[in-house]
């Protein structure tokens, strides 16, 4: 299988009054064709910044200070002209935002927004509307009503489904979903995840899920990347990560998920505060919260290394 996108040695810095903040520090990963990966971490781990970096659109005042994002066919994103990037967006890679209700232009009908996308990518407007209707049908959306509706006339779950349909409109190779279900109630959450799972099984589209809650996406991803303090601390197949996490941070993360059935006393919140990006230690960023901490964890940065089939981790103790 070929790689849809390859991120290599990516670093992103946010300047601040107290000095530069390394939001993302030298991370590399790839997404293969048809593969669905999850990037998991607490807030401040840099996961959302990575999502925007996949589009060279890190919010101000963030700045990409190093690394490369290479899409299928050797397309080096950071080297594209503005116009080339514009045509690349949405047709090759699209995004579903965390607060989908805010990603639709509030004063245009859904059909108009679809036509605007078609227009921007030289697609026939009627073909685009027909394609949208098809997508809406698979998502149990009443396309007749929704197409002529304004965003404020739709419920939150409906708007999220519409924005997923819009993301799929041009048949992209990669869809990035930033916390696609956090803003939804439990019922809509389940519905949206079922729709995404269906799309994933029926097409060769690759997905990147960004989330703080691994349990939500466990059923729709193949592989998980765990981030902490702007770095990747562990990657591996989802089954392995959930059942047998290696890195102490991942273990804490998995242990903090309340089980749907069973004894809640097994659930333990992760102690301590998320890493302070302004003041990262010389050694492992997780060391001060780690139960297995050793002397070298404080002085030496652990490098990411293979720990099993298709699995990597950055920890001295393993």
Partner 1 sequence: MTKLLRRLGISVLMIFLVAALTFFLIRLMPGNPYEVMYHQLLMKGMSQQQAMDQVRSIMNAIPNQPVLIQFVEWLGQLLHGNMGTSIQETGVPVTELVLNALPWTLVTVSLGLVISFFIGILLGVWSASRRNSWVSGLIDNVGSIAHAIPAYVTAVALLYLFNVVWHVFPSSGAYGIMETPGLNIPFLLSFLYHIVLPVGTYVLTGFGSWELAMKSTTITVINDDFMMAARLRGLPREKQMRYLGWNSILPLFTSFMLSLGAMFGGSVFIEGTYAFPGIGNLFATAINSRDYPVIQGCFLLTTTTIIVANVIADFAYSKLDPRIQA
Residue numbers at the binding site for partner 1 (CB under 8 A): 55, 57, 59, 86-91, 94-95, 97, 99, 102-107, 109, 116-117, 119-121, 150, 152, 163, 166
Q: Report the residue number, 94 or 188, with the smaller CB distance to partner 1.
A: 94
Q: Report the residue number, 71 or 97, with the smaller CB distance to partner 1.
A: 97
Q: Report the residue number, 59 or 258, with the smaller CB distance to partner 1.
A: 59
**CB of 305 vs partner 1, minimal distance in Å:** 35
**CB of 1 vs partner 1, minimal distance in Å:** 26
**CB of 269 vs partner 1, minimal distance in Å:** 30
Identify the CA nearest to 180 among candidates 95, 256, 272.
95
Q: Report the residue number, 58 or 254, with the smaller CB distance to partner 1.
A: 58
**CB of 208 vs partner 1, minimal distance in Å:** 14
Q: Report the residue number, 60 or 202, with the smaller CB distance to partner 1.
A: 60
**CB of 108 vs partner 1, minimal distance in Å:** 8
């Amino acid at each position: 299988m070929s790689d849809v996108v390859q991120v290599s040695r990516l670093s992103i810095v946010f300047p601040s009054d107290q000095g530069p903040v390394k939001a993302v520090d030298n991370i590399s990963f790839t997404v293969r064709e048809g593969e669905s990966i999850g990037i998991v971490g607490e807030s401040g781990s840099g996961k959302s910044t990575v999502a925007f970096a996949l589009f060279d659109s890190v919010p101000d005042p963030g700045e990409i200070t190093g690394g490369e994002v290479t899409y299928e066919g050797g397309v080096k994103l950071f080297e594209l002209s503005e116009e080339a990037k514009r045509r690349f967006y949405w047709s090759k890679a699209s995004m579903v935002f965390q607060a989908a209700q805010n990603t639709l232009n509030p004063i245009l009908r859904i059909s108009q927004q679809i036509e605007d996308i078609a227009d921007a990518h030289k697609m026939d407007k009627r073909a685009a509307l027909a394609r949208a209707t098809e997508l809406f049908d698979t998502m149990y959306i009443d396309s007749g009503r929704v197409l002529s509706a304004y965003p404020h006339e739709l419920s939150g779950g409906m708007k999220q489904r519409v924005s997923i349909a819009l993301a799929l409109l041009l048949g992209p190779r990669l869809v990035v979903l930033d916390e696609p279900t956090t803003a939804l109630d439990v019922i809509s959450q389940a519905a949206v995840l079922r729709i995404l799972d269906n799309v994933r099984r029926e097409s060769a589209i690759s997905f990147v899920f960004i989330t703080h809650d691994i349990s939500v996406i466990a059923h729709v991803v193949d592989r998980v990347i765990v981030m902490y303090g702007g770095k990747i601390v562990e990657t591996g197949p989802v089954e392995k990560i959930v059942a047998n996490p290696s890195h102490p941070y991942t273990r804490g993360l998995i242990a903090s998920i309340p089980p749907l059935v069973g004894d809640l006393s097994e659930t333990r919140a992760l102690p301590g505060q998320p890493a302070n990006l302004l003041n990262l230690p010389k050694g492992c960023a997780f060391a001060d919260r780690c139960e297995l901490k050793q002397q070298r964890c404080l002085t030496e940065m652990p490098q990411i290394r293979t720990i099993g089939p298709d699995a990597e981790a950055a920890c001295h103790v393993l």
